[in-house]
Amino acid sequence: MCGINGIFNYSQVGIGDEKSLIDLMNNSIRHRGPDDSGISSVEGGKIFFGHRRLSIIDLSSAGHQPMKNDAGYEIVFNGEIYNFNELKKLVEGYPFKSDSDTEVIIALYEKYGERCLQYLNGMFAFAIWDPKKEVLFLARDRVGKKPLYYSFQNGVFAFSSEIKALLKLPFIKNKLDEEAFYHFLTFNVLSPPATMFRGINKFHPGYCMTINKNGEHTYSQYWQIEYKDLRAKSEDELRIQTLELLKKSVQYRMVSNVPVGAFLSGGVDSSALVALMSKMTDQPVKTYSIGFEDQPDFDELEHARKVSQLFGTQHFEKTVNPDEFKNFLPHVVDIFDEPLADPTCVPIYFISQKARQEGTIVVLTGDGSDEIFAGYRNHLRYIHNYDKFNNLKRLPSPVKKIISATYSLYDSNSPLSEMLNRAALNQEFFWGSARSFKESVKNNFLTDDFRNKHSELNSYSVVESFKHEYDKIRKPYHQPIDWMCFMGFKLTDPNWYLYRADRLGMAHSIELRSPFLDYELVNFALSVPGEMKVKGNEPKYILKKSLESILPNEVLYRKKMGFCLPLKKWGSEIMVDYVESNYIEFCSNFPFLKTQGIKYILNEVKSGSEKAVNDLWTAYFLISWFKKWMHA
């Protein structure tokens, strides 16, 4: 886990001292790699690479980056290649000078070029200068675990692990992308290539880019989900294969020259990882759990302790108190230069801090399991209503619109109103992580000027882009649950959970790894028939059956809780005070949201509305984020 930066001045325009600029970029992401720093000049000074290192594999100076081999290939790399030792067999005779996975990538690229990506199992973002082809080659891992941002500006290409580093460059301005802002209000995250900054793009997972010496570039997808027809397999066969693939994935993610631990909630996913890890090491696994002082409804410490005792882990707990919570809240936006309006970042921040304090540098998490195995109870609501929804879509258009419009007069903010509206507009029923403002509600908050300027915008376009991608690879026998899992994997996992994990882990210089998102396990899980994902109203059915041999039923079939926090009890007052003190100035400086809309949220919170607390968090986060990162 590291941080990478680069500038390719292919037009050789005057941008200042590139070496000093790279140094500024490196310093801005020092938290990503406190162990070492490096800068290099490539191709006669047209390219500069920068790197911050968090040492995990080959802790010696031989793993220093940027790394250049004898043939002149040079790389900056962020991530881990779990199968790097196996891959050395593909480049027998290569004169390795280190035991690092970084050097294996160079060797593979020199031999196979872009095709080297097909051999890598890991999480990565890297850039390689190819001296023979005279091109700069960049790639991001299949799932999107490691971030990569880039910008083309007036003959200069720049890239980094974080946006804040790009904003150090004088030719990149922090100007708002208003379309991205519009979609953020619906999803609370942004999908590639969008960021909130005009002119700064986010790499898609599973994509690569090649830029020649004249700045001409190609950007292409090198990996896509591979659905297999598993309908003929028995439940026992699926159960056995699920566990075997998970074991293999966990084993890969135990590869490290520094201590490896796990976040443990006592739920299915984290407990499964701890159970498997405990069989793969002679030492007790270090496990970490989070709680909130005098708030038993918002922690799972008791459940985590039981699992810890079951597998003999060395267990650590962090209990957050109200003062810690309130003191951290204003600093959330410092971490997220790409906005993420997710209050669960608070417990993850503190549990990551605890892991670092106890000397654990690599931590395994259960991220991704619910998306690929259909683990949310919310999935059931959609499954049970898809037939009704499709019947509504078949009605004549005028009839659908009358039904939707009439019901919205009665209740415009309920799940039924949402279903009727989407059917009337011939849209897809399931929108993935559209957890914030619905389209109809959102327009009540946006100013008339903004809506008139962007009258063509509709956040369903985000869903449509994923639907087009899904339709190219879907199978005739697929069910609605397959679409839901696709959206979870493609939209929610990389742009929400993995982004959150990267930033909060890196805030404390630790690396979070996600065994459930190994690409081989992903391909398999997404191919599991829908009736084996959810059976008898039991989410994640086949995963839970596969784990019955290593976990007790009280863990497997306990009601899911997830990362929660007492946002209303601890956060309402500080958020209300902040929003009340700043929203008028914010709406004046950034005339996109109506003051009346924010005032409505404030009044709803004061009247005791639970739903409005989450809307207040979004308003609080946006006002704070704009003040930190965006010029008026």
CA distances from 512 to 60, 365, 459 (A): 22, 7, 31
CA distances from 509 to 35, 156, 164 (A): 10, 30, 17
| Helices of type H across 5-88 | 18-28, 84-87
Q: What are phi and psi of 38, to 5 degrees?
A: -150, 150
The residues, any chain, with a CB within 8 Å of residue 478's CB and separated by 6 or more, are 227, 530
Backbone angles phi, psi at 65, to 5 degrees: -130, 155
Can 2 be counted among the known catalytic residues? yes
Q: What share of the chain is helix, strand, coil (3-state, %, to 5)?
A: 50, 15, 35
Tell me the three state secondary structure of residue 4. Answer: strand
Write the Ramachandran bin of 359: left for phi over 0, alpha for psi from -120 to 50, otherwise beta. left
CA distance 527 to 535: 16
Contact between residue 345 and residue 504 where contact means Cβ atoms under 8 Å apart: yes
User: What does residue 125 show for φ and ψ, rounded to 5 degrees?
Assistant: -145, 130
Catalytic residue among 2, 116, 208, 485: 2
Going across the sheet that includes 201-202, the strands are 36-42, 47-53, 2-8, 156-160, 149-153, 201-202
E strands present in 141-243: 149-153, 156-160, 201-202, 207-212, 217-221
Which residue carries 């890969």 as its tokens?
A: 252
Q: Give the residue numbers annotated as catalytic, written as ranges.
A: 2
